[in-house]
């Protein structure tokens, strides 16, 4: 089972891969993200077989996260990997805040899988098992 948190706006500083449906197998992270009066969607075994999946390298991950989180990278827009522009599903670590000796965001231990295209979101919709409303 995986826990999926819908994200609508691209302006949220936690939308590390841009607008899309954000998922993680970490229930604790999903609950922190959803907050109060949100909705937690639970999906089972989404089929990404015929979709373009992007699992960026550590360096590409930093560039993509920097681009969407507006971190001070001088040429982030030019350095975004080409495969990212045509992907349906993004998969990579959820960032954590860096400490004084690290960058602003560094890769954490939890993984996120994000539907970033209509096809990616349709694959998630096909495997929806339940929606849990928070109060």
**pTM exceeds 0.75 for this model:** yes
| Residue in 50, 53, 44, 55 with CA at minimum distance from that of residue 125 | 44
DSSP string covering 31-75: HHHH-TT-EEEEE-S---TTS-EE---HHHHHHHHHHHTT---TT
Predicted confidence at residue 4, as pLDDT, reads 52
DSSP string covering 89-121: EEEEEEEEE--TTS-SEEEEEEEEEEE-SHHHH
Domain boundaries, the chain: 2-133
Predicted confidence at residue 113, as pLDDT, reads 94
Distances (CA, A) of 74 to 25, 77, 96, 124: 33, 9, 21, 35
Q: Which residues contact 105 (CB under 8 A, 6 or more apart)?
A: 16, 65, 66, 69, 71, 95, 96, 97, 98
User: 85-125, pLDDT tens digit by residue?
Assistant: 789 999 999 887 656 665 566 777 889 999 989 999 999 99
Predicted confidence at residue 14, as pLDDT, reads 65
Confidence check: pLDDT of 131 > 90: yes
């Amino acid at each position: 089972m995986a826990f999926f948190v819908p994200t609508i706006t691209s302006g949220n500083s936690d939308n590390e891969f841009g607008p899309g449906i954000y998922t993680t197998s970490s229930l604790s992270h999903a609950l922190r993200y959803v907050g109060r009066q949100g909705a937690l969607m639970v999906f089972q075994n989404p089929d990404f077989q015929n979709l373009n999946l992007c699992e960026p390298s550590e360096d590409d991950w930093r560039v993509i996260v920097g681009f969407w989180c507006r971190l001070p990278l001088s040429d982030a827009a030019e350095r975004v990997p080409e495969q990212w522009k045509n992907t349906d599903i993004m998969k990579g670590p959820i960032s954590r805040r860096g400490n004084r000796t690290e960058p602003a965001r560094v890769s954490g231990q939890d993984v996120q899988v994000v539907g970033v295209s209509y096809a990616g979101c349709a694959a998630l919709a096909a495997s929806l098992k339940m929606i849990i409303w928070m109060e």
